[in-house]
């Protein structure tokens, strides 16, 4: 599953061969971010159990800093089975990083500063000299 925006996303895993509603589906991931995920045991229907895991905007940003691809595994111990049943969901985080609000060159929202004003005045004076106009006025 490709995640191309930083908005909250919900991923699902479907575990088959489940013949009764189960609870306490455990989610694990290869990410070492130490986050608590919002999980739901989900819906039981036609011998399958669907569980969901919601990734918040902050969690997606934290995961993206460590890498782009993660595999999430959901596991459930079904009464009457020897081994737990598992399913996996792989996500690829492809959205661009949010620009740093302090980097005005990326946000195109630079406040005027003394250096910029001085540079404009300098260019104005150079243009005046090149075209032969007296740009200096009496104050």
What does the pLDDT look like over 89-134, one tens digit per residue? 888 888 876 555 566 665 566 666 766 777 787 888 888 888 877 7
Cβ-proximal residues to 44 (8 Å cutoff; 6+ apart), any chain: 18, 20, 21, 22, 50
| SS3 assignment, position 36 | coil
What is the Cα 70 distance to its own chain's centre?
Answer: 12
Predicted TM-score (pTM) of the model is: 0.62
* Terminal Cα distance for the chain, rounded: 67
pLDDT of residue 82: 81
State the sign of the Cα–Cα–Cα–Cα dihedral 47, 48, 49, 50. Answer: negative
């Amino acid at each position: 599953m490709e995640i191309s925006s930083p908005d909250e996303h919900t991923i699902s895993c479907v575990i088959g061969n489940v013949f009764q509603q189960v609870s306490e589906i455990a989610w694990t991931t290869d990410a070492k971010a130490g986050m608590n995920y919002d999980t739901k045991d989900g819906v039981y229907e036609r011998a399958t159990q669907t569980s969901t895991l919601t990734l918040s905007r902050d969690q997606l940003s934290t995961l993206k800093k460590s890498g782009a691809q993660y595999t999430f595994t959901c596991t459930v111990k079904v009464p009457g089975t020897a081994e737990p049943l598992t399913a996996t969901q792989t996500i690829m985080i492809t959205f661009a990083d949010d620009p740093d609000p302090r980097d005005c060159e990326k946000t195109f929202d630079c406040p005027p500063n003394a250096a910029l004003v001085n540079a404009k005045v300098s260019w104005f004076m150079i243009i005046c000299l090149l075209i032969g106009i007296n740009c200096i006025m009496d104050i």
